[in-house]
Amino acid sequence: MTLIDWIVMIVTIIAIPSFGLWKGRGSNTTSHYLLAGKSMPWYAMGLSIMATQASAITFIATTGQAYVDGMRFVQFYLGLPIAMVILAATAVPIFHRSGVYTAYEYLERRFDAKTRALASLVFLVQRGAGVGIALYAPAIVMSVIFGWNDQVTTLIIGTLCVLYTTMGGIPAVTWTDVLQMSIIFAGLILALFTVVALMPRGVSFTDAVYLAGAVGKLNAIDTHFDMNNRYNLWSGLLGGTFLMLGYFGCDQSQVQRYLSGKSVAESRLGLLFNAVAKVPMQFFILFVGAMVFVFYLFAQPPVLFETTAMKAIQGQPGFTEVQTHFDQAWKSREQAAEALNAARKLDDKAALAASVQSYRAAQREIDGARKDGIKLYEKTQGHPGFNDTNYVFLTFVTKYFPVGVIGLVIAVILNAAMSACSGELNSLATVSVMDIYKRFIQDAGTDTHYLLVSRICTALWGVWAVVFAQFAKNLGSLVEAVNLVGSYFYPVLLGVFTLGFFFKRVKGSAAFWAMLTGEAAIIACAVFTNVAFLWYNVIGAVVVVLAGLLFSVIFPPTGYNQQQ
């Protein structure tokens, strides 16, 4: 990077958290620290809810996902608008009326202490893993730019996250998210304009769209029903809806956002903002990745996008053959793409059809050459399951973006990582203090005492995130990994909250054992079937509800809490 890039990056990285800390000043009570005194306007909640999910993973992994697998990943989000409308009508008024700090506090009022404790534990396990995955994303950035190892990177970013989250609490996190998302939107638009401008002469925007579509990179919707296929219309609408209901309705990192709202109406507006904006944003990010794919039709990419992996195989027996095969395959694909681009401008359907077939064959050939490079790395380094999807977009940015823009994009990605991690750390601290420490360890402390414990828990979860981040490198595409982890746990939470909201006859013991039954069903699906992970959300939640109704017969209610 140039000096200008460094200046832009450093100024942006410092300015955004500083703004959050300034807006979060005065967090000297537990209510203000954890819920912002319920003073947040709808647009701040809406952008913060989006920012918590739109971590660095979104920009690093989602663009790479489109490069490798096309835009079909957008189907993952098709259920989100449905989930937002349902939650705005149900969860928001119930949680606000309950006057709780956490979603799981509601479960004790509705069921019993053991159900609350189990739900809190489920949240802490899955969100603790999620924050580690989110924190690993900046390690990829630093690896590309500086060649730093994972431990150094995650320690630096983790320390920064802990500092401003510990100091400012949820107000600092939320207002940081507001500024962060504003810059992210601008950065995404700038990224698209940049990649289109870098296309070679003779390749227009419409040409690029056609070339991407000719090999299926723009196939966003797959209507074929297949429960073993991760991304199709049905898994998105059904599995995606259940996952989004679990995430936005039962995950404290999201519930805490709309609990901080001024009113039920403001909180509803925050969720409905996401219903309108989230899917187009994800579509746009995936489209940028598809355009990066087209760019690399005419500018030769490396065999492996991860620099350290590429260096590791250079000089190894068999590398020369792999590189030669890749060079030839890329040249053939470039020529096929140029021929197709020329043929589509002529009125010759036969020539166009032949050009399309040649282009697709060339794409299959270069895919095979890349797989040979991956196999060589796995064989020589002893690292099975290698995946460099997360490095595609950053490699493009650092090599081809103009001066100044590189620094801005890198700063946006790093700040997105810190923004998402800070929100998750704050929610982990909230559950740790309110649902575990205050409920089971020290229930007679002062507000000052709980505020101190909240800060300590934030720091401890930050340490955990740094440690767990070291395991994220083996999880492949981070955007898939974080949602796969969530799909093991969110269905259980969604099921028990569904029982709490709508099935008043079900009491504590029935709900507790239903959660365990649902988790067992999810594990069984993962171990014994090839069902795609989005369907875990449907299966797990349905099993919890049915088991809860069954167990309510075994554990008949002799008097249940109707708190809602």
Q: pLDDT (tens digit, 9 = 90+) per residue, 493-514?
A: 999 999 999 998 898 899 999 9
Contact (Cβ atoms closer than 8 angstroms) between residue 389 and residue 67? yes
Banded model confidence at residue 535, pLDDT cuts 50, 70, 90: very high
Name which of 496, 391, 486 is nearest 61 in CA terms: 391
Rounded to an integer, the average pLDDT of 335-362 is 91
Tokens of 174: 């939320």
pLDDT above 90: percentage of residues in the chain: 32
Contact (Cβ atoms closer than 8 angstroms) between residue 421 and residue 157? yes
- E-assigned strand segments in 15-101: none
Task: Using the predicted structure, report yes or no on whether residue 182 has a pLDDT greater than 80.
Answer: no
**What pLDDT is stored for residue 562 in this prediction?**
46
* 30: amino acid identity, one letter: T
**What pLDDT is stored for residue 546 in this prediction?**
97
Between CA 29 and CA 37 the distance in angstroms is 9
Q: Which residue has the higher pLDDT, 157 or 210?
A: 210
**What pLDDT is stored for residue 491 in this prediction?**
95
CA torsion sign, 251 to 257 to 260 to 263?
negative
**What pLDDT is stored for residue 560 in this prediction?**
45
Q: Which residue has the higher pLDDT, 445 or 247?
A: 247
**What pLDDT is stored for residue 296 in this prediction?**
95
**What pLDDT is stored for residue 448 in this prediction?**
82
Contact (Cβ atoms closer than 8 angstroms) between residue 307 and residue 401? no
Rounded to an integer, the average pLDDT of 275-283 is 86
Banded model confidence at residue 139, pLDDT cuts 50, 70, 90: low
Rounded to an integer, the average pLDDT of 22-33 is 56
Task: Using the predicted structure, report yes or no on whether residue 477 has a pLDDT greater than 70.
Answer: no
Rounded to an integer, the average pLDDT of 157-174 is 64
Rounded to an integer, the average pLDDT of 20-25 is 62
Q: What are the residue ranges spanned by the domains of the chain?
A: 3-297+397-554, 307-387
Rounded to an integer, the average pLDDT of 528-545 is 94
Task: Using the predicted structure, report yes or no on whether residue 275 has a pLDDT greater than 90.
Answer: no
**What pLDDT is stored for residue 559 in this prediction?**
45
How many Cα neighbours within 13 Å face the side chain of 513?
14
Task: Using the predicted structure, report yes or no on whether residue 479 has a pLDDT greater than 70.
Answer: no
Task: Using the predicted structure, report yes or no on whether residue 267 has a pLDDT greater than 50.
Answer: yes
Mean pLDDT of all residues belonging to the chain: 82
The region of weakest confidence among 49-58, 184-193, 386-395 is 49-58
Select 3-297+397-554's CATH number: 2.60.40.420, 3.50.50.60, 1.20.1730.10, 3.30.465.10: 1.20.1730.10
Task: Using the predicted structure, report yes or no on whether residue 29 has a pLDDT greater than 60.
Answer: no
Q: What is the DSSP string of 320-355?
A: HHHHHHHHHHHHHHHHHHHHHHHHTTSS-HHHHHHH
Tokens of 41: 């306007």
Between CA 303 and CA 326 the distance in angstroms is 7
Task: Using the predicted structure, report yes or no on whether residue 179 has a pLDDT greater than 90.
Answer: no
Q: pLDDT (tens digit, 9 = 90+) per residue, 394-418?
A: 888 888 888 887 887 777 777 766 7
Task: Using the predicted structure, report yes or no on whether residue 370 has a pLDDT greater than 80.
Answer: yes
The DSSP bridge partners found for residue 40 are 261
List of residues 6+ apart from 254 with CB closer than 8 A = 49, 52, 247, 248
The region of weakest confidence among 202-206, 244-248, 340-344, 401-405 is 401-405
Query: Across 161-170, 336-345, 475-484, which has the greatest mean pLDDT?
Result: 336-345
**What pLDDT is stored for residue 43 in this prediction?**
61
**What pLDDT is stored for residue 47 in this prediction?**
65
Task: Using the predicted structure, report yes or no on whether residue 458 has a pLDDT greater than 90.
Answer: no
Between CA 26 and CA 23 the distance in angstroms is 9
Rounded to an integer, the average pLDDT of 348-370 is 92
